[in-house]
Amino acid sequence: MTQGPTSLLPVWARTTARRPSSRRQSLHATTAEAMDGEDAHHRPSSSSSSGGPFLSGLCAAALRRKPISARASAAASGEGLVRQLGVLELVLLGIGASIGAGIFVITGTVARDAGPGVTISFALAGAACVLNALCYAELASRFPAVVGGAYLYTYAAFNELTAFLVFTQLMLDYHIGAASIARSLASYFIQFLELIPSVKGNVPSWIGHGEEFFGGVVSVNILAPILLVILTVILCRGVKESSAVNTFMTTLKIIIVIVVVFAGVFEVDVSNWSPFMPNGFKAVVTGSTVVFFAYVGFDAVANSAEEAKNPQRDLPIGILGSLLACVILYVAVCLVITGMLPYTLLGEDAPLAEAFSAKGLKFVTVLISIGAVAGLTTTLLVGLYVQSRLYLGLGRDGLLPSIFSKVHPTLHTPLHSQIWVGCVAAVLAGLFNVHALSHILSVGTLVLKLQNTICNCNTRFGCS
């Protein structure tokens, strides 16, 4: 066996990479061992390096690649996670991750510029995402069904360094995203509570909305961490349990969106649709880059590869099915909302709810709030789920401490990884208002989608 240089890795990673745990050894023939095969030519020989052992180690570690075949045995062994998710659960997982607060908020922001053309913005962003989803679907069906998603594909298509960068981007997105969503959820709960007259105005801000200290640098909130703990407990209990919660909540929000569309159809005045693009096509295209956020999430399905009953068939269906369902629902909501009111009157923060209150349909407004809560809950739940599976993948590969590679023998969940991601999100959500930061992350997500498309080209056409 060729010895792979590990000097690039931190001490703990070096240790785990050299002396892999027995599970890792059996599940994933990775790192040095994995390089024996098809990717040996990707490693620069250390003797040819003129920059000394450190530089050659650095290059070798950065350039080593995980061969696709090395994962096959992992998928076959079936050890660790259990295959419990059917095609419906996978589609609902994708929808659960995608339909969050985006549709309830972004529509108004973009419609103020793009007018009714926001519908085209959603269709354009949806079309771009469908192309990307096709890449994900192909990668998901081509690869052995193990955890890792985008990280795994990058490891096989490029190298370890790129894969690790993908992981860091994903983690930044998911950790901050989870904290931000948990805070929004906490605020929603307080708003619900404040519907009770005796409670209104009496809830201290440190419970839900956040009490600011040090000039706003720290914003203390206890409800968000509590919600994160509850979801983490559900996720730790088993994939069947968390999938059941996701299925229930996602079905609820789909029904609510459909009811909203049908209730709104009768209020549509077609004259509100002309002009359809008051500020031209440019505003519509600009809008599509913003509404892209609403589609983020379908890729979550790829991360459940190791828990899908029939991954090669069901993952592509789950990825594409959930995205297409979102495109249809989003376009329908946009058409209805821009038909109900002149676009100039649409609110920026809660356009859907405001449009229905303006028409005197208060019950729909309440439904929308319930839909938003269900939406936030499922995006949070699935986000935490995906994170833990990514940590599990990196733990197995020796890129993170081996504690992350452990799967509970009876619950069949990566307990340590799950608790870790819950704790990180809880600390962030409990102490900081990360909302502003979460918006910037869409750019990173966009780059990640591009990266995945390149991965697909790379593995399909063998460019490297």
Residues of this chain that interact with ligand ARG (CB under 6 A) are: 98, 100-102, 173-174, 177, 293-294, 296-297, 379, 383, 445
Residue 423 Cβ vs ligand ARG, minimum distance, rounded to whole Å: 19
Nearer to ligand ARG, 104 or 143 (CB): 104
Rg (CA), the chain: 23
Nearer to ligand ARG, 104 or 404 (CB): 104
| Calpha distance 144→73 (Å, rounded) | 8
Residue 178 Cβ vs ligand ARG, minimum distance, rounded to whole Å: 8
Nearer to ligand ARG, 102 or 347 (CB): 102
Residue 442 Cβ vs ligand ARG, minimum distance, rounded to whole Å: 7
Nearer to ligand ARG, 317 or 372 (CB): 372
Residue 206 Cβ vs ligand ARG, minimum distance, rounded to whole Å: 26
Nearer to ligand ARG, 189 or 293 (CB): 293
CA 328 from centroid of its chain's CA atoms:
20
Nearer to ligand ARG, 32 or 92 (CB): 92
Residue 103 Cβ vs ligand ARG, minimum distance, rounded to whole Å: 6
Nearer to ligand ARG, 95 or 145 (CB): 95
Contact (CB, 8 A) for 316 and 137: yes
Residue 420 Cβ vs ligand ARG, minimum distance, rounded to whole Å: 18
Nearer to ligand ARG, 282 or 439 (CB): 439
Q: State which amino acid sits at residue 299.
A: D
- Full 3-state SS string of the chain: CCCCCCCCCCHHHHHHHHCCCHHHHHHCCCHHHHCCCCCHHHCCCHHHCCCHHHHHHHHHHHHCCCCHHHHHHHHHHCCCCCCCECHHHHHHHHHHHHCCCHHHHHHHHHHHHHHHHHHHHHHHHHHHHHHHHHHHHHHHHHCCCCCCCHHHHHHHHCCHHHHHHHHHHHHHHHHHHHHHHHHHHHHHHHHHHCCCCCCCCCCCCCCCCCEEEHHHCEEECCHHHHHHHHHHHHHHHCHHHHHHHHHHHHHHHHHHHHHHHHHHHCCCCHHHHCCCCCCHHHHHHHHHHHHHHHHCCHHHHHHHHHHECCHHHHHHHHHHHHHHHHHHHHHHHHHHHHHHCCHHHCCCCCHHHHHHHHCCCHHHHHHHHHHHHHHHHHHHHHHHHHHHHHHHHHHHCCCCCHHHHCCCCCCCCCHHHHHHHHHHHHHHHHHCCCHHHHHHHHHHHHHHHHHHHHHHHHHHHCCC
Nearer to ligand ARG, 6 or 379 (CB): 379
Nearer to ligand ARG, 16 or 154 (CB): 154
Residue 256 Cβ vs ligand ARG, minimum distance, rounded to whole Å: 15
**Closest to 138 measured CA to CA, from 68, 64, 85, 88:** 68
Q: Which two tokens stand for residue 34?
A: 């994995």
Q: What angle, 0 to 180 degrees and rounded to 10, lies between the N-to-C axes of helices 351-358 and 362-396?
A: 170
Residue 446 Cβ vs ligand ARG, minimum distance, rounded to whole Å: 11
Nearer to ligand ARG, 96 or 264 (CB): 96
* Other CB atoms within 10 A of residue 262 CB: 12
Residue 229 Cβ vs ligand ARG, minimum distance, rounded to whole Å: 20
Residue 223 Cβ vs ligand ARG, minimum distance, rounded to whole Å: 19
Residue 106 Cβ vs ligand ARG, minimum distance, rounded to whole Å: 7
